[in-house]
A and B are shown apart, each in its own frame.
Chain A
């Protein structure tokens, strides 16, 4: 699965970077920097948690 950000929704809460540091970092304004877009099966649980935790519903996992 691949991480997708809907940039029009993202408000830079930075929850995703907190919950999924293996794949997502945060820029100085709090907006995500996708360091590794592809999520392996081992990290899937954390990725889903990050998606669910996004207050702006801006984070998605899409089949690649």
Chain B
């Protein structure tokens, strides 16, 4: 039997909860998982709604929707579907893959808690990463041998395109259709997988639910910020020693995490490729509500910094081109808009003016079936306002003299 390993060992600052026992990067089998987290527990629907509300648990995908509200809006009956969205389609993010590969039993515990509370036996896990798929399969085989459960848990491979990770695209793909977001906005809690009411959430959300049930609301909330207690997973990109997946208590000042006062620090990207660039992280605290209020939502938890000796504008241009290539091509304003703004950023990179970019970015917002045009516009417009000095240097000299480092990953190196 091969040993399952994460490509890079994740780190925990403060207390490792999700990552307890696995910060060396090796898979936690069922026996180890049980010794760390105790026996599988269950809650009634009402109790789970109460506990997730007590710790203000927010979805860990991108939308940060309150889990208790989502749970309370669902009926408890056998036709309900539970979907674990493990598609993690953002190339910079690795937190969900890390969880599925190293602590799949924690994710499964959480999925089974939700299924039991909603009195259904239908659980589907959507993944596109081969290592995550293998670890989940192995974890399920271990449970069949020593801890059988009545729920049927299906693990399904999904395509890796960026917009295919959006929850409604995942549901459409699982239903046998194209893994693209549908044109009509329907909530999965009303009409989700196979048309049934569906509790769909991100991998980390389910792992957090498992922790919450194992620790109880009071102990769960002992660490982190009262606004969003507990810990959170982040993927740090590009900032040297601290790169990779980290578990941190919420409420941590971002400059403490990134070493923000350091003289040779470049601009920081918060929230990944649908996120926002900021030039200064001082005053920003790491909770989803605080960051959202500051206009820089955490989304799926990617925080990146381009080192000062690299060209940040070139990184932006490369990601902009990649984002354009990731448009599903369903919606005109997104297809044309993302390609046009990618060309605009390329022009700025080569020192040519691009007078229409601001208008084009404004015209992309709110005009698509999913958040891809909005997210792309946010990424590029915040880059251009944060990097005015870089843009000016490129306009004046046709470049800044610093190399393109390729810090922001584009396609997975699998």
A positions within 8 Å CB-CB of B: 5-12, 27, 29-31, 33, 58
Q: Interface digits, B352-387 against A, CB 8 Å rule (1 contact, 0 not)?
A: 000000000001000111000000000000000000
Give 11 pairs: A residue, B residue, CB < 8 Å, sorted on A: A6-B183, A7-B331, A7-B334, A8-B181, A8-B369, A10-B332, A12-B332, A27-B333, A29-B332, A29-B336, A58-B183
| B226 sits at the interface (CB 8 A) | no
CA A12 – CA B331 in complex, angstroms?
10
Find out whether the CB atom of A10 lies under 8 angstroms from the CB atom of B331: yes
CB distance from A59 to the nearest CB of B (A): 12
Find out whether the CB atom of B333 lies under 8 angstroms from the CB atom of A8: no
Q: Which B residues between 174 and 188 are near A, CB-CB below 8 angstroms?
A: 180-184
- Given A31-B332, A31-B333, does the pair A7, B363 have CB atoms closer than 8 Å? no
The residues of B that contact A6 with a CB separation of less than 8 Å are 183-184, 369
CA A12 – CA B367 in complex, angstroms?
12
B positions within 8 Å CB-CB of A: 180-184, 330-334, 336, 363, 367-369
Find out whether the CB atom of B183 lies under 8 angstroms from the CB atom of A9: yes
Q: Which B-chain residue is minimally distant from A11 (CB atoms)?
A: B332
Total inter-chain residue pairs, C-beta < 8 Å: 38
The residues of A that contact B180 with a CB separation of less than 8 Å are 8
CA A31 – CA B184 in complex, angstroms?
18
The residues of B that contact A33 with a CB separation of less than 8 Å are 363, 367
CA A10 – CA B368 in complex, angstroms?
10
The residues of A that contact B368 with a CB separation of less than 8 Å are 7
Find out whether the CB atom of B331 lies under 8 angstroms from the CB atom of A8: yes
CA A15 – CA B367 in complex, angstroms?
17
The residues of B that contact A31 with a CB separation of less than 8 Å are 332-333, 336, 367
Find out whether the CB atom of A8 lies under 8 angstroms from the CB atom of B336: no
CA A31 – CA B367 in complex, angstroms?
9
CA A9 – CA B363 in complex, angstroms?
18
Find out whether the CB atom of B363 lies under 8 angstroms from the CB atom of A8: no
The residues of A that contact B367 with a CB separation of less than 8 Å are 5, 7, 31, 33
CA A29 – CA B331 in complex, angstroms?
12
CA A4 – CA B151 in complex, angstroms?
40
CA A31 – CA B363 in complex, angstroms?
10
Given contacts A29-B336, A31-B332, 16 further A-B contacts (CB under 8 A): A6-B184, A6-B369, A7-B183, A7-B332, A7-B368, A8-B180, A8-B181, A8-B182, A8-B183, A8-B331, A10-B332, A29-B333, A30-B332, A31-B367, A33-B367, A58-B183
Please indicate which of the listed interface residues B183, B332, B367 has the most CB atoms of chain A within 10 Å of its own CB.
B332
Please indicate which of the listed interface residues B183, B368, B369 has the most CB atoms of chain A within 10 Å of its own CB.
B183
CA A33 – CA B333 in complex, angstroms?
10
CA A31 – CA B336 in complex, angstroms?
10
Please indicate which of the listed interface residues A6, A11, A58 has the most CB atoms of chain B within 10 Å of its own CB.
A6
Find out whether the CB atom of B369 lies under 8 angstroms from the CB atom of A27: no
CA A58 – CA B330 in complex, angstroms?
12
Find out whether the CB atom of A27 lies under 8 angstroms from the CB atom of B330: no
CB distance from B407 to the nearest CB of A (A): 33
CA A6 – CA B186 in complex, angstroms?
12
CA A6 – CA B227 in complex, angstroms?
37
CA A35 – CA B336 in complex, angstroms?
20
Find out whether the CB atom of A7 lies under 8 angstroms from the CB atom of B333: yes
CA A18 – CA B183 in complex, angstroms?
23
CB distance from B189 to the nearest CB of A (A): 19
The residues of B that contact A5 with a CB separation of less than 8 Å are 367
Q: Which B-chain residue is minimally distant from A29 (CB atoms)?
A: B336
Q: Which A-chain residue is minimally distant from B181 (CB atoms)?
A: A8
Find out whether the CB atom of B183 lies under 8 angstroms from the CB atom of A27: no
CA A9 – CA B368 in complex, angstroms?
10
CA A42 – CA B183 in complex, angstroms?
28
Q: Across the A-B interface, give the 5 residue pairs with the lowest CB-CB distance, nearest first.
A: A8-B183, A7-B331, A6-B183, A8-B330, A31-B332
